[in-house]
Chains A and B, each alone.
Chain A
């Protein structure tokens, strides 16, 4: 269980994270989504006690990170691809961490095996590829067998096979009842991995919902219209306030009116209608839409100071 309570981080005059509140529950993978620079990494560093919030707090299992008795047994995190010394081997890096939290030696071989680094465990980590470094970071996160896991852009640098492996790993960890928070700026990746989403833009919360809710709520109404009277139909749609474009096959894709409204419009104008299909907006569109709104919202009212988050 991870919780942020009006978490705020200010760098000079810039608010990197602005009264951000959300909760991450065990049992499902929660995607932490936002464009680059939206404050995801800063938020994760504050949860881990690495950065001090300017205002309010974040907690893990109801406690501030620094209060945890054996932190690596409760929380594991991959925040950086390179959080190890290039001169130390993977094994030694993990043993140095294990010693601090009373983790037995046997566990190191286990996590090295889980991430597939057993064969290079005694090589200097400076020789590792980006993907191998990422695997070492994941091994470090799993070291204390923690119930709460945070991964910041974990698939960066992984090859396609590694990406598939990471997806299954994240879902398996959640299925074991762990709390899993994974950040990404790619909604397409999150749609494959996550069940719930925490979406932020410019440091504020935009949405906290399931992936399916997210798609259906935020996708604009898009409808495919097949008609022999293309030109008249496009004009009618335009007059009714919808945007439309004609596809190469001759069908019209209209945005801004629901299928019901278009059906009524066709009846009113006596236009022949062969097909009327509501289209599921893509996640990518939904994401762009939401974060675009957040940017517009900020520009429209830059002096907002009541600490509320837009939803």
Chain B
């Protein structure tokens, strides 16, 4: 019989350190995590290869942004990284695990904080590695048929680092939506709607300006992942800042609802 230390002699209380360890283990112990990350990596690299391979030999020259072109595949990755964030919480609701989880960690801000740390760090690492991999493979495919970029070129490193970080923000955005909506399908549909579809619907509605340029996926494709500034788009720093604001808003609403709702 394992004798657990008596509570009187056990100092402190369960907190973010213990819960982060638990959430990290829980994420690793699910097959869906492996599949989602595999889809993110394989899908993004495959689309990047297709996109760069379709560039006409000696075709483009003026205004061609080889960095931006090699990151095209991340459109797919930005979908699946959001799914990773969504599943981190909706899978708990659909299976009933949430009740065990909250019995072990009744302080809900601690739980959401721990999930955000784990999802944020995992998608940051995956995002950065994947961005650099897309860049390297994309430049390899482009070489010989179009101008290529290297890490030393002005603006390239900044674009790659920010793009990786942007993917981490999308993971957190998905987590926040998952907490708010609680159902996997509903949360993923909302995520796709907000990230990809809003700009498409906004486009014909507005004759002046381009409201779609503030939508998450457009800011990623046209601003953050671009080295050559594109006309009519927000700047890369502003794009990142806006995405941080979006994330903060969604996570704040998520925190409020998680605290007030019955599990």
**A→B interface (CB under 8 Å):** 45, 48-52, 65-66, 68-75, 77, 79-80, 82-89, 92-93, 95-97, 99-104, 106-107, 110, 140, 144-145
User: Which residues of B in the span 96-112 have a Cβ within 8 Å of any Cβ on A?
Assistant: 96-97, 99-107
- Who on chain A is nearest to B95 by CB? A85
Q: Which of B10, B101, B106 contacts A102 (CB 8 A)?
A: B10
What are 26 A-B pairs at a CB distance below 8 A? A49-B102, A51-B263, A52-B262, A69-B12, A69-B13, A70-B7, A70-B14, A71-B14, A71-B106, A72-B103, A75-B103, A80-B99, A85-B91, A85-B97, A86-B95, A87-B31, A88-B26, A92-B29, A93-B97, A96-B26, A100-B22, A101-B14, A102-B14, A102-B18, A106-B2, A110-B2
CB distance A84 to B97 under 8 Å? yes
Question: Is B206 among interface residues, defined by CB-CB distance under 8 A?
Answer: no
Bound-state Cα–Cα, A87 to B18, Å: 23
Chain A residues whose CB sits within 8 angstroms of the CB of B26 once the complex forms? 88, 92, 96
Bound-state Cα–Cα, A86 to B18, Å: 23
CB distance A83 to B104 under 8 Å? no
Bound-state Cα–Cα, A300 to B261, Å: 34
Given contacts A65-B106, A71-B106, contact A84 B1 (CB under 8 A): no
- Who on chain B is nearest to A46 by CB? B262
CB distance B7 to A83 under 8 Å? no
Bound-state Cα–Cα, A97 to B26, Å: 9
Bound-state Cα–Cα, A49 to B263, Å: 9
Chain A residues whose CB sits within 8 angstroms of the CB of B21 once the complex forms? 99
Chain B residues whose CB sits within 8 angstroms of the CB of A102 once the complex forms? 10, 14, 18
* Bitwise interface map of B from 77 to 102 toward A, beta carbon under 8 Å scored 1, else 0: 00000000000000110011101111
Question: Is B4 among interface residues, defined by CB-CB distance under 8 A?
Answer: yes
Question: Is B260 among interface residues, defined by CB-CB distance under 8 A?
Answer: yes
Question: Is B205 among interface residues, defined by CB-CB distance under 8 A?
Answer: no
CB distance A96 to B262 under 8 Å? no
- Who on chain B is nearest to A75 by CB? B103
- Who on chain B is nearest to A136 by CB? B100
Chain A residues whose CB sits within 8 angstroms of the CB of B19 once the complex forms? 100
Chain A residues whose CB sits within 8 angstroms of the CB of B62 once the complex forms? none
* Bitwise interface map of B from 195 to 233 toward A, beta carbon under 8 Å scored 1, else 0: 000000000000000000000000000000000000000
Q: Which of A50, A82, A110, A145 contacts B103 (CB 8 A)?
A: A50
- Who on chain B is nearest to A95 by CB? B25
Q: Which 9 pairs across A and B sit closest by C-beta, in order of nearness?
A: A69-B13, A99-B22, A51-B262, A66-B106, A92-B29, A100-B104, A50-B263, A83-B100, A100-B22
Bound-state Cα–Cα, A22 to B263, Å: 23
- Who on chain B is nearest to A80 by CB? B96
Given contacts A50-B102, A144-B4, 7 further A-B contacts (CB under 8 A): A66-B106, A66-B107, A69-B12, A74-B7, A84-B97, A93-B97, A104-B2
Interface size on B, residues (CB 8 A): 35
Given contacts A82-B95, A96-B22, contact A69 B4 (CB under 8 A): no
Given contacts A45-B262, A50-B102, A92-B29, contact A97 B22 (CB under 8 A): yes
Bound-state Cα–Cα, A192 to B26, Å: 39
| Residue in B91, B92, B100 whose Cβ sees the most chain A Cβ within 10 Å | B100
User: Which residues of B in the span 244-263 have a Cβ within 8 Å of any Cβ on A?
Assistant: 260, 262-263
CB distance B106 to A49 under 8 Å? yes
Closest-CB distance, B82 to chain A (whole angstroms): 20
CB distance A50 to B262 under 8 Å? yes
CB distance B29 to A73 under 8 Å? no
CB distance B2 to A71 under 8 Å? no
CB distance A85 to B30 under 8 Å? yes
Chain A residues whose CB sits within 8 angstroms of the CB of B2 once the complex forms? 104, 106-107, 110
Question: Is B150 among interface residues, defined by CB-CB distance under 8 A?
Answer: no
Bound-state Cα–Cα, A104 to B1, Å: 12
Closest-CB distance, B89 to chain A (whole angstroms): 12
- Who on chain A is nearest to B111 by CB? A100
Chain A residues whose CB sits within 8 angstroms of the CB of B100 once the complex forms? 83-84, 93, 97, 140
Chain B residues whose CB sits within 8 angstroms of the CB of A104 once the complex forms? 2, 4
Chain B residues whose CB sits within 8 angstroms of the CB of A82 once the complex forms? 95-96
CB distance B104 to A68 under 8 Å? no
Closest-CB distance, B110 to chain A (whole angstroms): 9
Question: Is B143 among interface residues, defined by CB-CB distance under 8 A?
Answer: no
Q: Which of B7, B18, B22 contacts A73 (CB 8 A)?
A: B7
CB distance B103 to A71 under 8 Å? yes
Chain A residues whose CB sits within 8 angstroms of the CB of B95 once the complex forms? 82-86
